A and B are shown apart, each in its own frame.
Chain A
């Protein structure tokens, strides 16, 4: 008893698996079709074995039909864009032949078709339909060549079976990043990604990505097919404007629908950092001068994390370093270090200049891609009458988009 139950359970599991892999198309030969008739058939006694065929649009109809349905898809026998699964010698009371065998002496003129999304081909196979194929009927001939001038029957009647490969189109990918309508996007070589639920048939899936620079989706910036991963990085630099993108999946047979079109707007972004915030000079005596040109102490390093060229348009100190000297004196000077190619030296201050409460134009056009560090040298000279003690001051580097 237990072994019988186990066997039944196993059969049910196998049937469930078969249903999963054979996707949505289901066909039977029946005398009472409540779905879509693709072909009629009937023998002398009204049965469906060793029968003649009749096209689906012929009336009056035979009593039996190849009756099919698909879940979530329309299906018809319309041959426009449909797949031919048999050829008939006449529109009714007809023998049938393999539609794909071009070497037959006579090619029947009447086509029986299946028209639904996901049918890639229909073939005559010896033995059971395999894998994702669905059996519509079987055929056999008494004339020696079973592939033509044949009678038609149910799938289990004859060796040659009419098999149609079925495929479920992949589901629509779901865009994930950049966020839709992100109007403060700053990455000019964006990374795009999306999620994907997986192909129902288990087919390997690739993705088709499109990026446009106009909302009417006519000016294409990037058209990437056969992307294997759930992301794409656009390596050429985008402008400061709005962009639109969408993606669809392809399982080797069918495309999914396009995802909803996403948009984002790239804005100019200014961001700077002081890499070395410590600057400590050593012990001094009056009139002694020291500077950072020998890297002791280390000069200020301003690194741009911007997405465009920037200027350090204003450098300001809140007060003088020295109690005996005001700002704008030779006792505290500043300059941009030359030779790094990270900024436009001719438009910058590269010779010693007195620190002010507002010094314009210290660094002009600091790069944002490579070589994006500007080294700022400081020189200090102790005034002769300066009193001893620790000296402090603050200095501020203000940045903006390069003029």
Chain B
């Protein structure tokens, strides 16, 4: 990956220099507290404090900003300020509404973000930001339902469960709350839908609804949306999940005219079990025994379509390989993971036999066995031919003799 010093010098002299620098030498830490604040609306205005903490031995310049749908209702006592080393700054958050009727029911999340904008003595390029989440709940008839759907990674053709948690952040109990679950593929096609049993949720309490599902779909990424219906309000929550995990199989390996002491092309036939494209699959091919690795090569990257099949070609140099038993290691790197497949490999002077760990022969190419079988076949044909010729000679001789005798 890294160019050698020689290469660097060479490129310096012949082409040009790109010097890439993206950070200053300063480190710093920022903190914010409370990092989360929940308010259930029943008044037109609220005030509370947040604290920005500077744990470094130098001054920091802070700029505050908002992210979220309540920005127009929120203001801060200060938005730009300096915090001295190892000190903190308390600022007031002011929330004002002209009318609560303007606010839609449910959960509203706003982030109050503190970022360092540089320092007094340096021109800082990289930064961190810390956000305090302000969660405002607006009730419908005194009820605020906040659903959260949990979906773990599922297994195809097995029973799996979604768990829907519904919190009632309101001041009144919610009765007869209905939940609808919809599962979508990565192309936004709805692949499953179901309705949960109605539940009653007391004020400030949480109820859970389980949904059991046996997915009979291709492995891949999906997402689930749960809709919680109460009166005229609908609250939704989504989560992504996967069925199975990305997997690429080595189906077979072919090598035409394999010979030792030469470079042999190995065609590796791969297939993806993943229902989404897998790009940039890097493959490494190694031939080794218990003592050492005889050969190692990286193959060209390949991209897979959803459930696609691809062939990658490796060139196995056997000039330093003696006939014998080896292991062929095929390492594939994709989607941030590394997959290793190991094959028992038997090499003769003119053949290669590759056996998967399950004992299946995935490849058997060359002349050693074929030659023997072929020579056996030739011998038989030759023998039959001789017998036929001999028989013909005998018959012809007999016929000639018989004719002569008659004459």
A401-B29 CB under 8 A given contacts A290-B2, A388-B17, A391-B20: no
Which of B3, B126, B133, B280 sits near A401, CB closer than 8 Å?
B133
Residues in chain B near residue A321, CB distance under 8 A: 20, 22
Q: Does A8 contact B (CB under 8 A)?
A: no
Contact indicator A399/B22 (Cβ below 8 Å): no
Distance of A207 Cα from B153 Cα, bound (Å): 52
Contact indicator A278/B25 (Cβ below 8 Å): yes
Contact indicator B12/A283 (Cβ below 8 Å): yes
Contact indicator A272/B30 (Cβ below 8 Å): yes
Chain A 270-305 per-residue mask, 1 if CB under 8 angstroms from chain B, else 0: 111111111111111110111101101000101101
Residues in chain A near residue B127, CB distance under 8 A: 394, 396-397
Nearest chain A CB to B154 CB, angstrom units:
13
Q: Does B98 contact A (CB under 8 A)?
A: no
A401-B35 CB under 8 A given contacts A271-B29, A275-B27, A294-B2: yes
Nearest chain B CB to A25 CB, angstrom units:
52
Distance of A276 Cα from B27 Cα, bound (Å): 7
Instruction: Name the residue among B22, B24, B115 with the largest chain A CB count within 10 angstroms.
Output: B22
Distance of A282 Cα from B25 Cα, bound (Å): 16
Q: Does B289 contact A (CB under 8 A)?
A: no
A400-B18 CB under 8 A given contacts A277-B23, A294-B1, A294-B2: no
Chain B 328-342 per-residue mask, 1 if CB under 8 angstroms from chain A, else 0: 000000011100000
Nearest chain A CB to B320 CB, angstrom units:
28
Residues in chain B near residue A314, CB distance under 8 A: 129
Nearest chain B CB to A359 CB, angstrom units:
13
Distance of A263 Cα from B69 Cα, bound (Å): 35
Residues in chain B near residue A393, CB distance under 8 A: 22, 125
Contact indicator B20/A394 (Cβ below 8 Å): no
Contact indicator A269/B3 (Cβ below 8 Å): no
Residues in chain B near residue A288, CB distance under 8 A: 3
Distance of A285 Cα from B17 Cα, bound (Å): 7
| Closest B residue by C-beta to A395 | B126
Instruction: Name the residue among B8, B131, B133 with the largest chain A CB count within 10 angstroms.
Output: B131
| Closest B residue by C-beta to A308 | B35
Residues in chain B near residue A254, CB distance under 8 A: none
Contact indicator A400/B33 (Cβ below 8 Å): no
Q: Does A34 contact B (CB under 8 A)?
A: no
Distance of A11 Cα from B146 Cα, bound (Å): 80
**Interface residue tally on A, bucketed by range:** 35 or more
Contact indicator B27/A400 (Cβ below 8 Å): no
A296-B2 CB under 8 A given contacts A271-B55, A272-B130, A283-B18: yes
Contact indicator B26/A392 (Cβ below 8 Å): no
Q: Does A267 contact B (CB under 8 A)?
A: yes
A351-B336 CB under 8 A given contacts A274-B128, A308-B35: yes
Residues in chain A near residue B22, CB distance under 8 A: 279-280, 321, 378, 392-395
Nearest chain A CB to B113 CB, angstrom units:
6
Contact indicator A391/B19 (Cβ below 8 Å): yes
- B325-382 residues with Cβ-Cβ distance < 8 A to A are 335-337
Contact indicator A302/B128 (Cβ below 8 Å): yes
Distance of A308 Cα from B32 Cα, bound (Å): 12
| Closest B residue by C-beta to A312 | B128
Contact indicator B28/A273 (Cβ below 8 Å): yes
Q: Does A390 contact B (CB under 8 A)?
A: yes
Q: Does A214 contact B (CB under 8 A)?
A: no
Distance of A271 Cα from B91 Cα, bound (Å): 17
Chain B 245-263 per-residue mask, 1 if CB under 8 angstroms from chain A, else 0: 0000000000000000000
**Interface residue tally on B, bucketed by range:** 35 or more
Residues in chain A near residue B25, CB distance under 8 A: 277-278
Distance of A280 Cα from B51 Cα, bound (Å): 34
Distance of A272 Cα from B125 Cα, bound (Å): 16
| Closest B residue by C-beta to A387 | B16
Residues in chain A near residue B128, CB distance under 8 A: 272-274, 302, 396-399
Residues in chain A near residue B212, CB distance under 8 A: none
Nearest chain A CB to B4 CB, angstrom units:
11
Residues in chain B near residue A281, CB distance under 8 A: 19-21
Residues in chain B near residue A276, CB distance under 8 A: 27
Q: Does B157 contact A (CB under 8 A)?
A: no
Contact indicator A390/B133 (Cβ below 8 Å): no
Contact indicator B30/A286 (Cβ below 8 Å): no
Residues in chain B near residue A294, CB distance under 8 A: 1-2
Q: Does A71 contact B (CB under 8 A)?
A: no
Q: Does B77 contact A (CB under 8 A)?
A: no
Distance of A294 Cα from B1 Cα, bound (Å): 9
A277-B34 CB under 8 A given contacts A286-B15, A294-B1, A398-B113: no
Instruction: Name the residue among B3, B21, B30 with the largest chain A CB count within 10 angstroms.
Output: B21
Distance of A55 Cα from B130 Cα, bound (Å): 77
Which of A283, A300, A351 sits near B335, CB closer than 8 Å?
A351
Which of A270, A290, A338, A396 sits near B1, CB closer than 8 Å?
A290
Between A and B, 12 residue pairs with Cβ closer than 8 Å are A268-B35, A269-B32, A274-B27, A274-B126, A278-B25, A279-B21, A305-B55, A350-B336, A391-B20, A397-B127, A398-B113, A399-B128
Which 8 A/B pairs are nearest by Cβ-Cβ distance? A271-B31, A273-B29, A388-B16, A350-B336, A398-B129, A267-B34, A351-B336, A268-B35
Chain B contact residues, CB within 8 Å of chain A: 1-3, 8, 11-12, 15-36, 49, 51, 53, 55, 90, 111, 113, 115, 125-133, 153, 280, 335-337
Q: A272-B128, A273-B29 are in contact. List 20 more A-B contacts (CB 8 A).
A: A269-B32, A270-B31, A271-B29, A277-B126, A278-B24, A280-B21, A283-B12, A284-B18, A305-B31, A306-B35, A313-B131, A338-B336, A338-B337, A378-B22, A388-B16, A388-B18, A390-B21, A396-B129, A397-B128, A400-B132
